[in-house]
Amino acid sequence: MKTVDAPMAAKLFLGGAKNLEAKKEWINELNVFPVPDGDTGTNMTMTIMAAVHEVSSLTDMNMYALAKAISSGSLRGARGNSGVILSQLFRGFTRAIQNQEELDVVDIANAMQKAVETAYKAVMKPKEGTILTVARGAADKASELAETEEDVVEFARLVIEEAEAILERTPEMLPVLKEAGVVDSGGQGLVEVLKGMYDVLLGKEVDYSAAGASGAKPVKISAETEADIKFGYCTEFLIMLPEPVSVQREQEFKAYLESIGDSIVVVADDEIIKVHVHTNDPGLAIQRALTYGPLSNMKIDNMRLEHEERLIKDASKIAAQQKAQKEAAQPAERKDMGFIAVSVGAGMGEIFRELGVDYLIEGGQTMNPSTEDILEVVEQVNADNIFILPNNKNIILTANQASSLAKDKNVIVVPTKTVPQGITAMVSFEPDAAPEENLQSMEAQIKNVKTGEVTYAIRDTKIDDMEIHEGNIMGIGDEGILAVGSDVAGTAREMLEKLMDDSSEIVGIYYGEDVSGEDAQALGDAIAAAYPSVEVEVHAGGQPIYYYIVSVE
């Protein structure tokens, strides 16, 4: 195969999307912090599925229409940093191919370079060891191959081989990945997209239906039956090694797992081998593992059942958000400045409303809003200048992208990384000051806010030189793990004490849906007694997953 026409390009894109969707939960598990809200796989999947929806609606399949559908759909559907970067990769790639009738390897290589250039420009401070690094390495390899290789299939194989090799090196580029024992999750997501495309090139018979929470219509490439999860059981365990295994034996074990499943992770040291595999027969994996040593920490989940439950849960969340949007009242007269805040929990929402926020977007840690979600809300706010408070570092890029696409309104993104920063930004707002002056003031004030969050660990790991075990309570600060313990109150207090210093004046404690008001007040009283000169405020946040979100100013 020397060229790719528009219908084949569409199939390649849909194949990449489907493979990413199938691997999204595994990608979520690659989150560095072992918290129950790893969402890279979900964000990337929902981003690409928004583009799938646009592609599925095309009636005239040509390269220009396909490029426009992929670019527009992914830009508006982008969620989280990884989703925004993925959308920018698609944007750059499609701009380079939109006027072509067919693509050869030179066209594809040039488009990959344009994709990387566009994505790097979208990130203010690009980090190496991320999805950007994987994309750039793949693009450079593509340019090198385009000089000698004409066959698209072989070209794709070698590009993916390079992308996987770079992905394996990401822990050497980002120490936090190495310490956690994972590769970059965004980079893994990109590799899965490329591998899904390659499956289509090989002519694999797969049903690439794309219905789901994104509202996408079913899109089929070849097979007629409804798609199913190929390997139904997520199987994890540790092998306790009586003696170190050779590299050859480790590779033999990995090869065996590849013969019975996919999504394979095998990490070995002198004492243990950590194993993760998706398979239809967990017993086969366990039997082979027992030849290496006794097993512990065994965990087997039926992914088909979990998939169905998750679809229902996601659909319920989206329906509730849409209902809230419809019920939101607009001010009768257009005003100069309005506010949008991303928030989660009834208590947090009420605080923002009391501070003058016009519209709340349900999101944050567990469900990042898309660019389209934010744009729809911008239309609802009847103001000339609209401030957006992302309140999450993983939503700032999405908000910036929405700002660049907004029309007829001046949309200003205040780079708040946490809910407490968002609250401080609103408190510092001056109605009589110009929008630019308010932005400068807000940015200055949020720098004085230190945030801590208390949640639980979902897996064993080591990070920030701390041993963390599944079920531990963790106190996470702006820069990393501050405390690890077995109880919520003790861990929260230890974390707060590490956030305090001689300049601390105000402590805000926002307790979640799983914490009682009495327990929260007891924590507040303890902090007030230990730091008599500090003002301590306790509020019902109502947030899920995080027992406490605290601020120190």
Q: Residue 369 pLDDT > 80, yes or no? A: yes
Query: Which one is predicted more confidently, 31 or 528?
Result: 528
DSSP tag of 331: P
> What ranges in 123-265 are assigned the alpha helix state H?
131-145, 152-173, 175-180, 185-201, 247-260
Q: What is the pLDDT of residue 225?
A: 28
Strand intervals (E) in 398-468: 410-413, 450-456, 461-463, 466-468
Tracing tokens 């540790």 back to the chain, one arrives at 238
State the average pLDDT over residues 81-109. Answer: 95
What pLDDT digit, counting tens, does each position of 45-79 carry?
A: 999 999 999 998 898 899 999 999 999 999 989 98
Q: Comparing 320 with 517, which gets the higher pLDDT?
A: 517
pLDDT at residue 436, rounded to an integer: 95
Question: Looking at this protein, which amino acid is placed at residue 495?
Answer: M
Helix (H) or strand (E) holding 206: none
The alpha-carbon radius of gyration of the chain (Å, integer) is: 24
pLDDT confidence bin for 254, thresholds 50/70/90? confident
Span 83-105, average pLDDT: 95
Distance of CA 78 to the CA centre of its chain: 10
For 80, the 3-state DSSP assignment is helix
Whether residue 222 has pLDDT greater than 60: no
Encode pLDDT of 478-515 as tens digits. Answer: 988 999 999 999 999 999 999 999 999 999 999 999 99
Average pLDDT estimate for 243-266: 84
Average pLDDT over residues 247-271: 81
Q: What is the mean pLDDT of the chain?
A: 87
Listed range (108-112, 135-139, 542-546) with the worst mean pLDDT: 542-546
Answer yes or no: are the C-beta atoms of 184 and 131 closer than 8 Å: yes
Question: What average pLDDT does range 303-328 have in this prediction?
Answer: 56
The model's pTM is 0.71
Per-residue pLDDT at 207: 57
3-state secondary structure 485-530: ECCHHHHHHHHHHHHCCCCCCEEEEEECCCCCHHHHHHHHHHHHHH
* Cα 76 from chain centre: 16
Select from 464, 514, 501, 509 the least CA-distant residue to 484. Answer: 464
Cα 184 to Cα 162, 192, 235, 326: the distances in Å are: 15, 12, 21, 38
